[in-house]
Amino acid sequence: MQSPVSATEMLQIAADAARAKGGEDLLALNVSEPLPLVDVFLLVTGNSERNVAAIADEIEDRMIEAGFKRVRREGRSEARWVLLDFGDLIVHVFHEEERTYYGLERLWKDCPVVPIAEPAPLAAAEQD
């Protein structure tokens, strides 16, 4: 990866945002070898068009809050496959049918998986 700290930070922010809106089956792939201008793909599944849109919006909001600029967004109006390009990180938010149909995991199967940390538990939840 070209900028591992930035890409890792971006990945974690996007993954936490996706989980906050019910994103499932998160998978991050290091695509820096075949795609020199991109470090990581994050694949996320939503269970409906409304959920896909909510996940994509939350990711975009949190990334912008953290100071990362969105380069491009595609597919938001249909909300079946939304692509969010943040330079080093590209997020693909899929409806479950589209994720199965397009099978990006199969296409990029030779790329190493990037671990995604689980979000830290809330302090209040630990005390209960």
Which amino acid type is present at position 41?
Answer: F
The CA distance from 26 to 46, in Å, is 10
Reported confidence tier of residue 124, pLDDT bands at 50, 70, 90: very low
Q: Which domains does the chain have, with CATH numbers?
A: 4-114 (3.30.460.10)
Structure confidence by residue, pLDDT tens digits, 50-108: 999 999 999 999 999 999 999 999 999 999 999 999 999 999 999 999 999 999 999 99
- Eight-state DSSP code of residue 54: H
Show Cβ contacts of residue 59 under 8 Å, excluding neighbours closer than 6 positions.
Answer: 14, 17, 18, 44, 84, 91, 93
**Chain length of the chain:** 128
Reported confidence tier of residue 25, pLDDT bands at 50, 70, 90: very high
How buried is 119 (Cβ within 10 angstroms: 0-12 exposed, 13-18 middle, 19+ buried)? exposed
Q: Which residues pair with 85 in a beta bridge?
A: 72, 90
Closest CA to 97 of 45, 37, 26: 45
**89 contacts 11 by C-beta, under 8 angstroms:** yes
The predicted model scores a pTM of 0.88
Between CA 115 and CA 87, with CA 97 as vertex, the angle to 5 degrees is 45
The CA distance from 3 to 39, in Å, is 8
